[in-house]
Structure 1
Amino acid sequence: MIGYIVGLGDRHTINILIDMSTAEVIHIDFGIAFEQGHILPTPETVPFRLTRDIEDGMGVSGIEGVFRRCCEKTMSVLRQNQETIITILEVLLYDPLYAWTISPSKAYNIQQGSSRRSEMYGSDPEASEMEVNKMAERALVRLRQKLQGTEEGTATSISGQVNRLIQQARDPVNLCRLFHGWQPYL
């Protein structure tokens, strides 16, 4: 839920690790955030990674047990603290070191696995500061909509929002359109 709220993308098997002693999921590589995954050459179509293999790892109850309850509780905590979250992220509006947008060439390099990290995540000289701030403002508006559950123009309950996100994440139509390197079949 947190990854969905901040628009975390590029969630493939190399960027999601599992702690061998605690079985906790650990996310790394936060270079694609604030829904920048939607502008990749092969856009990301799911809110978070929830493939069949991940669901199988949840045991007999699958998504209908602890997973759904944890998603709903997490979303509830996020909604209760939305002003704090937005205040913290508003600082990034004026951070000259954070790139709110990625150029098409950077997006291509990310999906092709380029090792030139500075090229991918460095500042983009093509974008003016004003344009970057407008992108940041749009990202914060979208984040606020997610936190309020008012996506797609209608307000939804926490359970309704979580249910919609789970359905989108498991939808074969969304999964089949993902970048092949993301390995959605796993």
Structure 2
Amino acid sequence: GHLIRATSMFEELCLKSFPPLLYWWFINNFLDPHAWFEARSKFTLSAAVWSGVGHVIGLGDRHSENILVDTTTGDCVHVDFDCIFDKGLNLPRPEVVPFRLTQNMVDVFGPTGTEGMYSGGLKTAMTTLRDNRDTLLSVLEPFLKDPVIDWKRHRAQQNNEAKNKTSNTNNAPSGSKHHEIVEAKRSIKVIDERLKGVYNLRNPNHRKIRRKDGTNSVDQHDEMSHILPLSVEGQVNKMIQEATSSENLLQ
């Protein structure tokens, strides 16, 4: 009931009070029709590639200061990669979208919206990532031994604090290191599963996620969808449905 009311307020108040404007920026910035079409196409395709890569590596904290637009070409450019490897899932208000795909962005894509060029680009990106799974994992695995492993330290500290309350042992440093290694391996495993087509298997918030099927939004009660690998088309469709669901965006 609460989510339904919140969704209604989001769609009736927020979206209508702040209509998409990025589309008009492209028209005003690229006055020549050919230049405008090229810029819009580049934005659409680059956004699709970033969506696929961002989902696979668990890139979060995507807001208007971290998603930029190249004013000369129209390309979508992401910056600030501190919130990576699903760190956003452990925030006080967890991020429940696979990537950022707001109404403002979709409006730029043109009449076809998320279909056509965007979905085609996302399918190509996911196909390329999945076909090169071993190469990508070999690049990411060194993170296991790199200081950048601190992206999971806050959870390790929480676990250690809980243990220290019930134990007087002096093994907190080694315990913290152990948890960092466990979390790093877990994150690599999640990436591996996503590259195989397994979707949201380890997302602790998957019961909060809604998927938009046509005009309806439905709960993801089918546990098999979190275990069985999907085709590239199925994976892409599911990601887009969840990324554009009003119930997810308002959270």
> Within 5 Å, which residues of 2 pair with 1:67-106?
67-103=118-154
> Within 5 Å, which residues of 2 pair with 1:19-30?
19-30=70-81
What SS does the corresponding residue of 1:63 show, helix, strand or coil?
coil
Alpha-carbon distance in structure 2 between the residues aligned to 1:23 and 1:40: 32
Alpha-carbon distance in structure 2 between the residues aligned to 1:63 and 1:129: 43
Instruction: Kindly provide the amino acid, as one letter, of the partner of residue 133 in structure 1.
Output: I
What SS does the corresponding residue of 1:22 show, helix, strand or coil?
coil
TM-score, normalised to structure 2, is 0.60
Tell me what 2:198 maps to. 150
Specify which of 157, 170, 179 is matched with residue 131 of structure 1: 179
What SS does the corresponding residue of 1:59 show, helix, strand or coil?
coil
Which protein has the bigger helix share?
A: 2
Instruction: Kindly provide the amino acid, as one letter, of the partner of residue 133 in structure 2.
Output: Q
* 1:5 shift after superposition: 0.3
* 1:126 shift after superposition: 9.8
> Within 5 Å, which residues of 2 pair with 1:1-186?
1-103=52-154, 128-151=176-199, 152-177=226-251
- Alpha-carbon spacing, 1:25–1:102, altered in 2? closer, same or farther (3 Å): farther
* 1:97 shift after superposition: 4.0
What SS does the corresponding residue of 2:114 show, helix, strand or coil?
helix
* 1:103 shift after superposition: 2.3
Q: Between Structure 1 and Structure 2, how many residues are aligned?
A: 157
Alpha-carbon distance in structure 2 between the residues aligned to 1:84 and 1:16: 27
- The answer to whether the 8 A contact 2:243-2:249 is kept is yes
Alpha-carbon distance in structure 1 between the residues aligned to 2:88 and 2:142: 22
What SS does the corresponding residue of 1:21 show, helix, strand or coil?
coil
What SS does the corresponding residue of 1:17 show, helix, strand or coil?
strand
1:103-151, Cα deviation, whole Å (9 max, x unpaired):
27xxxxxxxxxxxxxxxxxxxx897222111000000110001000023
Alpha-carbon distance in structure 2 between the residues aligned to 1:127 and 1:4: 30
**RMSD between superposed Cα atoms in Å:** 1.5
- Alpha-carbon spacing, 1:21–1:145, altered in 2? closer, same or farther (3 Å): same
The unaligned stretches of length 5 or more in structure 1 are 105-124, 178-186
1:50-101, Cα deviation, whole Å (9 max, x unpaired):
1111100111111111100000000000001000111111100011343131
Larger Rg: 2
What SS does the corresponding residue of 2:59 show, helix, strand or coil?
coil
- The answer to whether the 8 A contact 2:149-2:180 is kept is no
Instruction: Kindly provide the amino acid, as one letter, of the partner of residue 87 in structure 1.
Output: S
The unaligned stretches of length 5 or more in structure 2 are 1-51, 156-172, 200-225
TM-score, normalised to structure 1, is 0.81
**Larger relative contact order (Cα-Cα within 8 Å, sequence gap ≥ 6):** 1
- The answer to whether the 8 A contact 1:149-1:158 is kept is yes
Aligned sequence identity (%) = 38
- The answer to whether the 8 A contact 1:17-1:27 is kept is yes
- Alpha-carbon spacing, 1:97–1:139, altered in 2? closer, same or farther (3 Å): closer
